Amino acid sequence: GENVEQHPSTLSVQEGDSAVIKCTYSDSASNYFPWYKQELGKGPQLIIDIRSNVGEKKDQRIAVTLNKTAKHFSLHITETQPEDSAVYFCAAIASGGYQKVTFGTGTKLQVIP
């Protein structure tokens, strides 16, 4: 089955700095890679995703990059704000029907004002 590793487990940055979270996956059949933000006591919220036919995708301060050859993808948050503080999960999915979602272990991001 798919195995997704995520690093770092915790990350502290000063407000305004950038934050980068990295994930690697094992199953070459995975072709859809979403990122989720989870605030304390709430369900995860999809913030950005990327398909395997694209190398990079950007949405305002958030971007995701994908290296299919190396089987890794990263989340980049620029100009971080205190409200970006949360736990972030990456995931890998082999699309086609209702395939299982394999989540990374999560990164707790703390943005220091």
Interacting residue ranges for another protein, rule: CB under 8 A = 32, 34, 36, 41-46, 49, 89, 91, 93, 95, 98, 100-101, 103-106, 108
Closest approach of another protein to the CB of residue 2, in Å: 12
Query: Strands 72-77, 19-25: parallel, antiparallel or unpaired by DSSP?
Result: antiparallel
Q: Is the peptide bond before 34 cis (omega within 30 degrees of 0)?
A: no
Query: Strands 10-14, 107-112: parallel, antiparallel or unpaired by DSSP?
Result: parallel
Annotate 17-82 with DSSP letters as a single string. S-EEEEEEE--TT--EEEEEEE-TTS--EEEEEEETT-SEEEETTEEEEEETTTTEEEEEE-S--G
Closest approach of another protein to the CB of residue 16, in Å: 27
What is the token pair recorded at 30?
């995975």
Q: Of 73 and 89, which has the nearer Cβ to another protein?
A: 89
